Amino acid sequence: MRIRHWQDIASLLLGVWLVVSPFVLGFSGAATWITIVLGFFVILFAVEGLVIPSYLEEWGEILLGLALLAAPWTVGYESAPATVSSIASGLLVILFAIWELMTDRDFTTWWHDRWHHPVT
């Protein structure tokens, strides 16, 4: 298996962090379960990006990053470490996904063809 994008490995590590962070940082309640579930999905999308490289999983990662950014306020995290971890992880997941999209040859070719040569 040849790794096309280092961002997939970074996202995988972020997903692992999200799964273990409630235990490392000691937060509980809804923040724990939301963080673990979103972490597993980040892992899933990262592994999918490693096994079946395409640019589609990055859109899922962007949505997961947005969910991580919104969760502390929509759910009402009681723990400051949970909030900081969720925001930082969400920003990084989004950053890595966008970075990968912008450096993926297949996506940039599709984007260029789609917007510079519209179908009539």
User: Is residue 50 predicted with pLDDT exceeding 50?
Assistant: yes
Question: pLDDT, tens digit, for every residue of 90-105?
Answer: 999 999 999 888 886 5
pLDDT at 100: 87
Domain boundaries, the chain: 4-113
pLDDT at position 116 over 80: no
Question: Among candidates 38, 2, 3, 4, which has minimal Cα distance to 21?
Answer: 38
**pLDDT-above-70 percentage for the chain:** 81
- Answer whether residue 89 shows pLDDT above 70: yes
Q: What is the pTM (predicted TM-score) of this model?
A: 0.81
pLDDT value of residue 104: 64
Determine the Cα angle at 22 with ends 70 and 29, to 5°. Answer: 70
* 1: pLDDT strictly greater than 60: no
